[in-house]
Amino acid sequence: MCEIFCFNSNTPKQVNECLECFYNHSEDHPHGWGLANMQSDEFVIDKEPVKATCSQHLKDILSHPVVGKNVFAHIRLATVGEIVSPNCHPFHELDDNNRSWMLIHNGTIFDYPGLDKYKEHENGDTDSERILLFIIDKVNEFEKEKGAPSTIKERFNLLNGIVADLSKNNKLNLMIYDGDLTYIHSNMRKTLYYLKDEEGFLVASTPLDDDERWKEVELNKLFGLIDGNIIFESEEHDNEFIQTEEHEKALENFLNSLQE
């Protein structure tokens, strides 16, 4: 599986120390890294299909202050898709109203036939990219029917339904950003944590330090964050993911195939 990271705040903050702690986990997640920083309504995205601790490009980035209100990071342990740049997170797409969307994913889609048609349209070959393309299509359909751009609340409600449905029989730890709202979702125990303090809102697959204020993200809910605060919280769905021996075997077989 992968690890994911998000920083959300009301004012730009430097996050180098948090990122360095996060990327140090790449020894166990060696198949790529990604970093997205939202600056002045524009995504700045860097990613490579190499281990984060071995990347000179990442070292160069972190040798300068990384400052932002909305910063996302990812380290990949491949479960679907080749180890190539198009399969590294974050994924970024525009909807029909020219709104930018970004997604990072920790998990695997074992069962959702509705994503299969996007295999012909994605740049890489991951289930994660297909999730974003699916979401974009649903947003476009909603806004076309409405005849106008969606509101923040409408997008949250729409994604809540999509994410709840996608999470059935699938591990779906997600971080999504739509230019306004950061969406957070987890449906597997002890795989996503948050820390809220005066600096902002940190979310990561594992706590980044020994601060006792780290708490597990509530399962089976979608959260919407703006400026370091939760402004939307969904009802709880029933689709907790519990990894079975069958899941573990499928993932092991895939990892073994990468070494052949």
Q: Are 182 and 70 in contact (CB under 8 A)?
A: yes
| pLDDT over 60 at 260, yes or no | no
How sure is the predictor about 247, in pLDDT bands with cuts at 50, 70 and 90? Answer: low
What span, in angstroms and rounded, lies between the C-alpha atoms of 18 and 36? 14
Query: Taking residues 184-208, what's their average pLDDT?
Result: 96
> Structurally, how many domains does the chain consist of?
1
Q: Where are the alpha helices (DSSP H) in the chain?
A: 16-23, 56-62, 127-146, 152-166, 245-258
pTM beyond 0.75: yes
**pLDDT recorded at residue 50:** 96
Collapsed DSSP state (helix, strand, coil) of residue 217: coil
**pLDDT recorded at residue 251:** 65
**pLDDT recorded at residue 79:** 80
Mean of all residue pLDDT scores within the chain: 93
The CATH number assigned to the domain holding 91 equals 3.60.20.10
**pLDDT recorded at residue 258:** 55
Sign for the pseudo-dihedral over CA of 135, 136, 141, 143: positive
| pLDDT over 90 at 61, yes or no | yes
Residues of the domain holding 189: 3-258
Q: How far is residue 118 CA from its own chain's centroid?
A: 18
Q: State pLDDT tens for residues 192-202.
A: 999 999 889 99
Q: Are 81 and 125 in contact (CB under 8 A)?
A: yes
